[in-house]
Amino acid sequence: MAMPKIGIISEDSVQRHRLQRALNESGVEVACNLSPDRVDENWILSRLVQIWLIDLGQEEQYEDLFSDMLDRSPAPILFYDPETPHENGEYDKRWVKRLVDKIQKQANEAEPESTESVGSPELPWDNRVNMDASALSQQQPPELTNKITLPSDLPPRCKRVADHVWILGASLGGPEAVSRFLASLPKSLPVSFVLAQHIGKEFQDTLCEVLAQHAPLRTFVAKERCVVHTGELLLAPIDNTLTFLPGPVVELENESWAGPYAPSVDQVMIRAAKGLSTVDTGAIIFSGMGDDGAEGAVAMAARGFPVWAQSEETCANSSMPDAARDSGVVTFNGSPEQLAEKLTEHVLSEQQSLEESIDG
């Protein structure tokens, strides 16, 4: 029997991500990685997770939640006693192997699922994200709200290779939040974006059209060997992963996104951290369910790139930005409008430094 998809639940965010890495290296796919307070109705009833792994140390503290999961979740539950990792942060390989063997044994004992339908199970919020995009397409684009006056001597951004390329990550509630953010940017700000938005493939073109109406940017789904120009918004495709090359250039790869999310915010950010070192870059995590982007945030911060997040009270669902905050690397939180203002100030400061270095 194939190895099941795992959901990890623990209050310790560092431990969760280390455990996920150890399981991935052992060939186990982790569908979600959550703290107990983010396990809501959608996750309890989700069929995306085939076995839950729950930190035994939190059994008493979250007894009501875990009892509810035992009663109602379609997936069996395994409680694990967390092993203290070695000084290098890695788990003992024998402990990991015992855990993987337990997972495989549980999967073999579980009642087999019906094979009448094929394909990946739909995320419980997929349709809600798709409806977000469809609803926005019926609305009038908002007026630009950013009140910052740009310097009159900024060079025109048309057909200029980008000096500032920022990553945006979003899921549930993302289309509205990102639209508000983009509408709040000054029209001539010399910046470009790559957006990783969880959404159904059939709705990505709709999202692209919506964002083009709301943003003072040329908006399109990323294409093969695409040079990023100033004033562009590239959407990460659903079917293909992408990587970044010096230029900056976006290159598509003939492989699918790892994990349950498409596109993967983590993968886009991790690859941006490696491939966008020659330009000003950073990442902003917007509204969304789950924790996609948390590992990417750590990767970006490790290379000195800023990571910001939408404030909890302004999110339709704050799980994604909360997970990024739990990693300890988020340096600014705000509403979409506040994030736009912060980015405007950042880009203008970086642009001035760039021009001074050229003059010098």
Domain boundaries, the chain: 6-109, 136-359
Asked whether the whole model's pTM tops 0.85, one would answer no
Q: Which CATH class is domain 136-359?
A: alpha beta
Q: What pLDDT score does 140 carry?
A: 52
Q: How far apart are CA 143 and CA 152, in angstroms?
A: 22
Q: Do domains 6-109 and 136-359 have the same CATH topology?
A: yes
> What percentage of the chain exceeds 90 in pLDDT?
42
pLDDT band at 275 (very low <50, low <70, confident <90, very high): very high
Q: What pLDDT score does 182 carry?
A: 94
How many other CB atoms are found less than 10 A from the CB of residue 16? 24
Cβ proximity of 339 and 284 under 8 Å: yes
Return the CATH superfamily for domain 6-109: Nitrogenase molybdenum iron protein domain (3.40.50.1980)
Q: How far apart are CA 158 and CA 267, in angstroms?
A: 29
The more confident residue out of 6 and 134 is 6
pLDDT, tens only, 183-227: 999 988 999 999 999 988 888 888 998 898 878 899 999 998 899
Q: How far apart are CA 95 and CA 90, in angstroms?
A: 11
93 Cβ neighbours under 8 A, 6+ residues apart: none
Active site residues: 171, 198, 292
One-letter-per-residue 3-state SS of the chain:
CCCCCEEEECCCHHHHHHHHHHHHHCCCCEEEEECHHHCCHHHHHCCCCCEEEEEHHHCCCCHHHHHHHHHHCCCCEEEECCCCCCCCCCCCHHHHHHHHHHHHHHHHHCCCCCCCCCCCCCCCCHHHHHHHHHHHHCCCCCCCCCCCCCCCCCCCCCCCECCEEEEEEECCCHHHHHHHHHHCCCCCCCCEEEEEECCCHHHHHHHHHHHHHHCCCEEEECCCCEECECCEEEECCCCCEEEEECCCEEEEECCCCCCCCCCCHHHHHHHHHHHCCCCEEEEEECCCCCCCCHHHHHHHHHCCCCEEEECHHHCCCCHHHHHHHHCCCCCEEECHHHHHHHHHHHHHHHHHHHHHHHHC
Assess whether the previous peptide bond of 263 is cis (omega < 30° from 0).
yes
pLDDT band at 249 (very low <50, low <70, confident <90, very high): very high
pLDDT, tens only, 73-107: 999 999 887 766 665 667 788 888 988 998 988 88
